[in-house]
Structure 1
Amino acid sequence: MNLERLHILLVCNLGASTGVMVTKMKEIAQSSEKLRQTDVRIEAHPAGELREYVADFDVIMVGPQIKHQLKQLSEIANEYGKPIQVIDTKDYGTVNGANILKDAIILKLNGEEKGERG
């Protein structure tokens, strides 16, 4: 795996509940040998602010507590060609930053493959 850049935007209700997850994911990314050469950026923002931030990120991860907003959020993400998915409820609840980071990497790689195929 050779990622030059991995910018992940976590969206949730108010942006606060995901702050702990951002910290955990950053710690894991910084200690990862595979991500050492990757420009990793992880931020959390309220879903209502998605349009303000979407262009600056590679993938959008949605907090499970707002999965009911996925359709509206997907419309915005799709306008910018950004892959989007809901964070696994169990991973979110147990603050499993490693699994969420892995899901974000897969989402980015799958999004790039789709983009290349047109």
Structure 2
Amino acid sequence: MKNIMLVCVAGMSTSLLVTKMQKAAESKNLEAEIFAISESEVDSTLQSKAVDVLLLGPQVRYLKGSYETKYKDKNIPIEVINMTDYGMMNGEKVLTQALNLIG
């Protein structure tokens, strides 16, 4: 089971992307919990949930450095979603990006 967390300003703009990523995961018979939250929910979510990768929407890319510092002890890969893939809502490519980061 892979836990993939997407973060954006309000958690809304990534909802469609989550749906597309879930469909891509199902087509690969991959067990994954993929969910989107707002930047204000990251702290509480990471305190209560194990996450394998944290993907940032392009609009919150500025948070990457502070998250890498703040959550260093959790050893969670943190990356910004490719802007083109995000704009096209390409769930397959974003899922691949997440899985590559997880390793």
Identity percentage of aligned residues: 33
- Rg comparison, structure with higher value: 1
TM-score by length of structure 2 reads: 0.91
Gaps (5+ residues) in structure 2?
A: none
2:5 counterpart of 1:9: yes
Q: Which has the higher contact order (CA 8 A, sep 6+)?
A: 2
How many residues are paired up?
Answer: 101
- Cα distance in structure 2, aligned partners of 1:20 and 1:92: 10
C-alpha root-mean-square deviation of aligned residues, in Å?
A: 1.2
2:66 to 60, 63, 72: 72
- Cα distance in structure 2, aligned partners of 1:22 and 1:77: 23
Gaps (5+ residues) in structure 1?
A: 110-118
> Quick one: which amino acid aligns to residue 32 of structure 2?
V
Who is 2:86 aligned against?
A: 92
Instruction: State whether residues 58 and 80 of structure 2, in contact with CA within 8 Å, keep that contact through their aligned partners in structure 1.
Output: yes
Q: SS at the partner of 2:12?
A: coil
CA displacement at 1:39 relative to structure 2? 2.8
> Quick one: which amino acid aligns to residue 49 of structure 1?
E
Q: SS at the partner of 1:82?
A: coil
